[in-house]
């Protein structure tokens, strides 16, 4: 979701108006994806690094996030939309965190269409968080479960394997474990870098860089990217199968 500030500057709009337009673009894109039959959509709404911006801008984004939660809650009453918030939610204020948890709880049973909004997120933090959680799990197993098998020497090799952190442990403890790895990653604003977003999950994804700023993204941008993916579908399937 890159280009909100550039959009406002180019359109000679007041400060913060670009984020208003960006929030509307996100809600519109969610509708487009739902109508097109896309099952999963993930939006990078707020990075941990974004806390370095001016306090007034951070507060503006947080206010918009709360408004988006309200809109999504109303949409979910009429359509089976599941909403996830992925990231270090402890960095949000208590009110916003509670609203996020309430919305996730209210939509948890839906599965037809899944919207994941990444807030207070970056991929490096996701990986560190996952390793820490995996270590806690292994320590718990070693301390409270492993002790009961101290006299069972035949299981030593199996216990050693259980004490090691593996790929499954890392991936299940990531914030992004709530949704499958993406088929497509769209970056707006004519940017060609991932900016610490889903590096772990996008090794076999189509990377689409659009010259348009985020507030101007429309349904035809989405359709073009989807068609591009469909034309290269066999290639991406082969790559994913090679990983298995």
The catalytic residues are 2
Residue 137: exposure state from Cβ atoms within 10 A (0-12, 13-18, ≥19)? middle
**Cα–Cα nearest to 86, from 53, 40, 38:** 40
Q: How far apart, in whole angstroms, are the C-alpha atoms of residue 122 and residue 129? A: 11
> CB-based contacts of 40: which residues, under 8 Å, 6+ apart?
113, 114, 116, 179, 180, 182
* Residue 117 contacts residue 86 (beta carbons within 8 Å): yes
The maximal CA–CA distance of the chain, rounded, in angstroms, is 74
Q: CA-based Rg of the chain, rounded to a whole angstrom?
A: 20
């Amino acid at each position: 979701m890159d280009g909100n500030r550039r959009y406002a500057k180019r359109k000679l709009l007041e400060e913060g108006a670009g984020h208003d337009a960006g929030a509307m673009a996100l809600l519109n894109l969610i509708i487009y994806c739902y109508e097109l039959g896309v099952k999963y959509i993930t939006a990078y709404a707020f990075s941990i690094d974004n806390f370095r911006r001016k306090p007034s801008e951070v507060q503006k984004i947080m206010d918009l996030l709360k408004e988006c939660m309200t809109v999504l809650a109303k949409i979910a009453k009429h359509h089976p939309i599941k909403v996830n918030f992925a990231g270090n939610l402890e960095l949000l204020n208590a009110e916003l965190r509670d609203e996020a948890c309430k919305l996730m709880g209210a939509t948890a049973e839906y599965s037809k269409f899944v919207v994941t909004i990444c807030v207070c997120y970056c991929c490096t933090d996701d990986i560190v968080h996952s390793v820490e959680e995996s270590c806690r799990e292994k320590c718990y197993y070693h301390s409270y479960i492993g002790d009961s098998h101290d006299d069972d020497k035949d299981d030593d090799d199996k216990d050693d394997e259980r004490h090691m952190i593996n790929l499954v442990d890392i991936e299940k403890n990531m914030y992004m474990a709530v949704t499958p790895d993406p088929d497509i990653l769209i970056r707006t604003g004519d940017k060609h870098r991932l900016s610490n977003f889903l590096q772990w999950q996008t090794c076999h994804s189509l990377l689409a860089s659009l010259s348009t700023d985020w507030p101007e993204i429309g349904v035809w941008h989405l359709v073009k990217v989807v068609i591009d993916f469909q034309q290269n579908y066999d290639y991406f399937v082969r790559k994913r199968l090679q990983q298995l």
